[in-house]
Structure formats: C-alpha cells, structure tokens
Amino acid sequence: AQSVAQPEDQVNVAEGNPLTVKCTYSVSGNPYLFWYVQYPNRGLQFLLKYITGDNLVKGSYGFEAEFNKSQTSFHLKKPSALVSDSALYFCAVRDMEYGNKLVFGAGTILRVKS
C-alpha cells in the first residue's frame, strides 16, 4: 500500500534560518508527491507537487522540495524561514492502486521563532 511518513512531529527553527520538513514515501512504481500547508483554523492549501522532471520542485511562498528516488524522500525546504511560515505541513502521495486519491502523512508542525 502507498504511504508517506513524516518522521518529525514538530520542527523548530529561528527566523531567517533555512528550514527542512522531512517526508519519506513508500509506493510501487513512480510516485506522485505533494506538499500541503494548514494554517491555524484554516483548510489545507496546496504548496507544490512532483510528478516527473526536475528533482527540485518550486512552489508557493518560496518553498521548494527535493525528490530523491534513491532515498525515497521528498523533503520540503525554504532558504530563509519566516514567522508566518509557522503552520502544519502535510506530505501526500498519490494512491497508485486507485489512482484518484491522495494518501496524507500525519503532519509536521513547523514553529518559526523570531
């Protein structure tokens, strides 16, 4: 079965420092991978996706993610964190068996302190 794992419940980073939110996946075949962000008391918002092509994917709000096939990872990154980046981040993978749905990870809380 397709799955993603977010090994860190919470990531703390100082404002201005680079941030990484980790995600590893387990799928059969080529993965379709996604990152979503949830701000407090809001629904999820799409950040970026990897379907094929360049391993470095750029998305909204200055975020990017690096697809690494050998390590089965899709880590979310940003060169310089902002306090306003504090939120809950979800990694997701397309369910290759059914094809029309996403499987989400448990989420990682990102806290950026000034």
Residues making contact with another protein (CB under 8 A): 32, 34, 41-46, 49, 51, 90, 94, 98, 100-107
CB atoms within 10 A of CB 88: 17
89: enclosing H helix or E strand:
strand 87-94
Q: How far is the CB of 104 from another protein (least distance, A)?
A: 4
Query: 60: helix, coil or strand?
Result: helix
Choice between 27 and 103, CB closer to another protein: 103
Least distance to another protein, CB of residue 43, Å = 3
| Site of tokens 């059914």 | 98
**Cβ 21 to another protein, closest distance in Å?**
14
